[in-house]
C-alpha cells in the first residue's frame, strides 16, 4: 500500500465533514443576523427588555414552585418531602415577588445576569482559544465583551438594574450574532480555498 492511499481515507473524511459544515454556512449566517436584530431591538427597548425578562423569570419560578408543591404532596411519604415542599414554597414566593414587584426582581436578576455573563464570557474566551475554530478571534472578542459587561453589572447592579439588564442582553446578542456571521463567512471562504464544490456539499 503506497503512502497516497494511506492518507486518502482521512483526507476524504475531512473534506466530507468540512463540506457538510459548509453546506450549513447560510444557516450560521442567518443565526448571526437574527441574533444581531434581536440585540438591536433589546438595546433600543432596554427598560422593556428588563421588565419582560423579570416577568418571564417570575412566571417560570411560579410554575416550577407549584409543580414542586404538587409533587411534594403526591409523594408525602418520601423522606425528602420537607425539602421538596420548602423548595416549592420558596420558588412560589420568588415568582410572586418578581411578578408583583418587578423592580426588586430586576435588581436580583441583574446580579444573577452579571454573574452568568462573567462565567459565560470566560468559558467562551477559553474555548475559542483552545479549539481555534475558523475565525475564532471574533468569538474570543465576544467572550471578553460578555465578561466585561458582567463585571460592570455586578459592580453597579443596584443603580443599573432598571435599564442595564436589557442593554447588556442586547449588546451581548449583537456581539454574539456578529461572531456567528464572521464564523459563517470564514467557513465558506475556507471551503472555497479547499476546492469544495457544490457537488461535494450535496454529497455530504
* pLDDT (tens place) for every residue of the chain, 204 residues total: 444 455 455 555 655 666 666 677 778 888 889 999 988 988 888 878 878 877 887 888 888 888 878 877 776 565 566 777 777 788 888 788 777 777 777 777 777 778 888 888 888 888 888 877 766 787 788 888 888 888 887 887 667 777 777 787 788 888 888 888 888 888 777 766 666 655 555 555
Spatial distance between the Cα atoms of 6 and 154, rounded to a whole number of angstroms = 55
**If DSSP codes are grouped into helix, strand and coil, which group holds residue 202?**
helix
Burial class of residue 26 in the structure, from the number of CB atoms within 10 Å of its CB (0-12 exposed, 13-18 middle, 19+ buried): exposed
- Contacts (Cβ under 8 Å, ≥6 apart) of 87: 65, 68
Half-sphere exposure of 120 (CA within 13 A, CB side): 15
Spatial distance between the Cα atoms of 71 and 84, rounded to a whole number of angstroms = 8
- Nearest Cα residue to 150 out of 132, 129, 175, 128: 175
What's the whole-model pTM score? 0.56
CB 183 within 8 A of CB 35: no
Spatial distance between the Cα atoms of 42 and 49, rounded to a whole number of angstroms = 6
Count of Cβ atoms closer than 10 Å to residue 77 Cβ: 5
Amino acid at each position: 500500500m503506497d503512502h497516497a492511499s494511506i492518507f486518502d481515507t482521512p483526507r476524504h473524511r475531512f473534506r466530507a465533514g468540512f463540506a457538510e459544515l459548509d453546506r450549513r454556512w447560510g444557516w450560521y449566517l442567518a443565526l448571526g443576523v437574527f441574533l444581531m436584530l434581536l440585540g438591536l431591538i433589546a438595546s433600543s427597548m432596554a427598560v422593556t427588555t428588563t421588565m419582560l425578562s423579570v416577568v418571564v423569570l417570575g412566571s417560570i419560578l411560579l410554575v416550577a414552585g407549584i409543580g414542586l408543591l404538587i409533587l411534594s404532596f403526591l409523594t408525602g411519604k418520601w423522606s425528602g418531602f420537607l425539602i421538596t415542599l420548602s423548595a416549592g414554597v420558596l420558588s412560589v414566593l420568588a415568582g410572586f415577588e418578581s411578578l408583583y414587584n418587578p423592580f426588586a426582581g430586576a435588581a436580583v436578576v441583574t446580579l444573577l445576569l452579571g454573574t452568568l455573563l462573567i462565567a459565560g464570557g470566560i468559558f467562551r474566551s477559553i474555548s475559542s482559544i483552545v479549539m481555534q475554530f475558523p475565525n475564532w478571534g471574533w468569538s474570543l472578542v465576544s467572550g471578553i465583551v460578555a465578561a466585561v459587561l458582567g463585571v460592570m453589572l455586578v459592580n453597579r447592579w443596584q443603580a443599573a438594574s432598571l435599564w442595564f439588564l436589557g442593554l447588556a442582553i442586547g449588546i451581548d446578542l449583537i456581539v454574539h450574532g456578529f461572531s456567528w456571521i464572521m464564523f459563517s463567512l470564514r467557513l465558506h471562504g475556507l471551503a472555497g480555498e479547499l476546492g469544495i464544490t457544490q457537488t461535494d456539499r450535496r454529497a455530504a
